[in-house]
Structure 1
Amino acid sequence: MSGAEPAAIRVERYEPGHAAAWDALVAASANGPFLFGRAYLDYHQDRFEDCSWLVWQGLRLRAVFVAGRIRNAAEPATLVAHPGLAYGGLVTAGAAKTPDVITWLDALRTAWHAAGFRQLLLKPVPRVFCRQPSEAALFWLHRQGAQLAARELNSVIDLTRPFRIGTWRRGNLRKARLHGVAVGCTTADADYAAFWELLATNLHRTHGRQPVHTLAEICRLRDRNPGHLELWVARLAEEVVGGVLVFQDARQGFVHTQYIGGSPRGKQVGAVDAVLAELLRCKVPAFQRLSFGISTVQGVVNQGLLNQKEGFGATAETTDTYTLNF
């Protein structure tokens, strides 16, 4: 005797009333970092229109798709996953089977087209941020004729295995000890302000730009996402001379260095390397992977930045962007 037919798949656009169901799925997922929770996603809704989607099977939420578009976008028919984050896309409840993922994405594509979208720009969640990575969505993209639009280079350390700090980095650590550099995690608003001034000065001097987040935004995100943002600083006497702001997710198993910076004096005494070494020491064994972030701009490698990361034992992983027309 055959069983009951499975419930039909239903796709709908995200609305604020879905927030509790959305957050519950992300919290149970194998590939949804805390940045996909509404407490993080909604902070920049003044700049980005949320164009996320939910996939239901009967009354059960099976997946969500994290996406949006820039308000007043020049190309409003392009769905971007995600314009305000470094990545986006499909998040599934637990380890979804490949045929299900393909079915859900087929249904989503039909819904996107019906909603007026004609292109998908997708930056899938990198493996380093997933408790249990799956590349079923990449297989679907390939079958649909998607094109690889960009590939950047991320540096990752496996914290579950021994890693070796290189000679140059060890020299900087000795220098930091000799100069009395003190490293610690801080929650003080004054330390955030000091680090942000240092960071903004460096970025403006080197690249002519400012941090993606303002100081007010980063403090608000820290308060809205407790336990997920930490600032580690290096001090000479009472002066903040270097620091690393990390995003972390113990459930997914990663720590990510979102911002790294040192003052001229800090660079002379190895302050940033001292912070990174202490960060690595403290995050084992609670976390399994550390992401140093990308060392490329539009595919061009910043060799000095890459050398610093690989000097701590990091290896290369790619982060990709795909375009799909429909």
Structure 2
Amino acid sequence: MITQVQKMLEARRYTASDAEDWDKLIDHSVNGTFLFRRGFMEYHADRFEDFSYLLWRGKELVAVFVAGRVRNTLELQTLVAHPGLTYGGLVVATELKYPVLEEAYSVLLEAFQAEGFSKLIIKPVARVFCRQATEANIFYFHQNNFVLTRRELNSVIDLTQSLNISKGRKDNIRKARKSGLTIDCSNDFKSFWPLLIDNLWQTHGVQPPHSEKEIILLQQKYPKNIKLYVARLDETVVGGVVLFLDPLHGFAHTQYISANERGKQVGAVDAILGHILAEVHGNFLRFSFGISTAKGILNSGLLAQKEGFGATVELIDVYEKCLL
């Protein structure tokens, strides 16, 4: 039930004419990231139909809701926040008082039902990506019959503290240096992407969410936010890490990490990660390694590698709400 408060919010579905207002709110929000800028979100508009909303209080934009629907799907009545991104949902300009948060969800849920949706799936923005983290959303979900359907394990490092890299990881970094491995920030996606595709398929039986063409397009649009670090032996790329950086919101995130057999033998990934951490430490507040689970199943070896760099656990949850 909504706390008694005068309803002043209006939900309007996003249109192209809202792009400037949208991006401005994202840049100054407490829990938005550059992935929510329209230029990033719309690169895969052919696969996902946008169903995002803006929440207005008169002429003031106070929040947006990042969501969409998969095109060519049988589940046309399912709204996902967001189907083409790691996370989505409510993004606020400044932290909302709880009664206003309740009203925001009330107005949004009414709008979703009016569009004919019968189910809502939300992947809230994780704490590590928030300039000002809050769990008000989680409490609202608990109070209003949202169901926790999935829980993944992310690894994060507090970059305001001294780095705490284990002896094992340091030994791997030294081994990589002795092998003649070199590391640099590069735009050589054409060399790294086939290596990434092969490794993901051999290890997990999956393809990367971005194609080579898509990641190159996005990096050209956001060169300060998307960087590729590669490791080379004898001028050949043997490993790499794609880093997503958001200086406005204070985080760096490893989007892709991969090495071929030769790279694994010389500790290429550890060497690249050590190089990156030395670069971002003192320049960013938080570091996200990404999840060490697949549909809730833990990859213990992957988690151990991240813990060797001093990472601790943070949860990433998915919630569902029946709208009928």
Q: TM-score with structure 1 length normalisation? A: 0.95
Q: Secondary structure at the match of 2:254?
A: strand
For residues 149-168 of structure 1, the aligned pairs below 5 Å read: 149-168=149-168
Q: Secondary structure at the match of 1:261?
A: strand
Say whether residues 1:314 and 2:311 are aligned partners: yes
Say whether residues 1:29 and 2:26 are aligned partners: no
CA deviation profile, 1:243-288 (whole Å, cap 9, x unmatched): 1001110111110000001111111111110000010000021111
Give the equivalent residue in structure 1 for 2:235. Answer: 238
Q: Secondary structure at the match of 1:94?
A: coil
Give the equivalent residue in structure 1 for 2:56. Answer: 56
**2: CA distance, partners of 1:102 / 1:7:** 10
Whichever residue aligns with residue 281 of structure 1, its letter is: A
Give the equivalent residue in structure 2 for 1:68. Answer: 68
Q: Which shows bigger deviation, 128-137 or 311-320?
A: 128-137
Q: Secondary structure at the match of 2:203?
A: helix
Give the equivalent residue in structure 2 for 1:117. Answer: 117
**2: CA distance, partners of 1:318 / 1:7:** 33
For residues 68-87 of structure 1, the aligned pairs below 5 Å read: 68-87=68-87
- Do the aligned residues in 1 keep the contact of 2:183 with 2:232 (CA within 8 Å)? yes
CA deviation profile, 1:120-169 (whole Å, cap 9, x unmatched): 10000000000101222222211111110000000001111113111221
**2: CA distance, partners of 1:286 / 1:177:** 25
User: 1:110: how far off?
Assistant: 1.0
Give the equivalent residue in structure 2 for 1:256. Answer: 253
**2: CA distance, partners of 1:13 / 1:182:** 49
Q: Secondary structure at the match of 1:221?
A: helix
Whichever residue aligns with residue 263 of structure 1, its letter is: N
**2: CA distance, partners of 1:98 / 1:285:** 34
What is the aligned length?
A: 319
Q: Secondary structure at the match of 1:164?
A: coil
Give the equivalent residue in structure 2 for 1:129. Answer: 129
Gaps of 5+ in 2: none
- Do the aligned residues in 2 keep the contact of 1:166 with 1:311 (CA within 8 Å)? yes
User: 1:58: how far off?
Assistant: 0.6
Q: Secondary structure at the match of 2:32?
A: coil
CA deviation profile, 1:39-88 (whole Å, cap 9, x unmatched): 10010000000010111111111110000010022211111000001110
**1: CA distance, partners of 2:316 / 2:254:** 15
Whichever residue aligns with residue 319 of structure 1, its letter is: I
- Do the aligned residues in 2 keep the contact of 1:102 with 1:136 (CA within 8 Å)? no
- Do the aligned residues in 2 keep the contact of 1:155 with 1:293 (CA within 8 Å)? yes
Q: TM-score with structure 2 length normalisation? A: 0.96
Q: Which shows bigger deviation, 121-130 or 202-211?
A: 202-211
For residues 172-211 of structure 1, the aligned pairs below 5 Å read: 172-187=172-187, 191-211=188-208
User: 1:114: how far off?
Assistant: 1.3
**2: CA distance, partners of 1:10 / 1:209:** 41
User: 1:175: how far off?
Assistant: 0.5
**2: CA distance, partners of 1:34 / 1:209:** 25
CA deviation profile, 1:274-312 (whole Å, cap 9, x unmatched): 000010000021111110000101111111111111110
- Do the aligned residues in 2 keep the contact of 1:102 with 1:137 (CA within 8 Å)? no
Name segments (4+ residues, structure 1) moved above 4 Å.
none
Q: Secondary structure at the match of 2:185?
A: strand
**1: CA distance, partners of 2:6 / 2:98:** 17
Whichever residue aligns with residue 65 of structure 1, its letter is: F
Question: Identical aligned pairs, as a percentage?
Answer: 51
**2: CA distance, partners of 1:181 / 1:241:** 9
CA RMSD across the alignment: 1.3
Give the equivalent residue in structure 1 for 2:39. Answer: 39
**1: CA distance, partners of 2:237 / 2:97:** 49
**1: CA distance, partners of 2:149 / 2:202:** 30
Q: Secondary structure at the match of 1:30?
A: coil
**1: CA distance, partners of 2:196 / 2:215:** 13
User: 1:182: how far off?
Assistant: 1.1
- Do the aligned residues in 2 keep the contact of 1:29 with 1:93 (CA within 8 Å)? yes
User: 1:28: how far off?
Assistant: 1.0
CA deviation profile, 1:225-258 (whole Å, cap 9, x unmatched): 2310000111112111111001110111110000
Q: Secondary structure at the match of 1:61?
A: strand
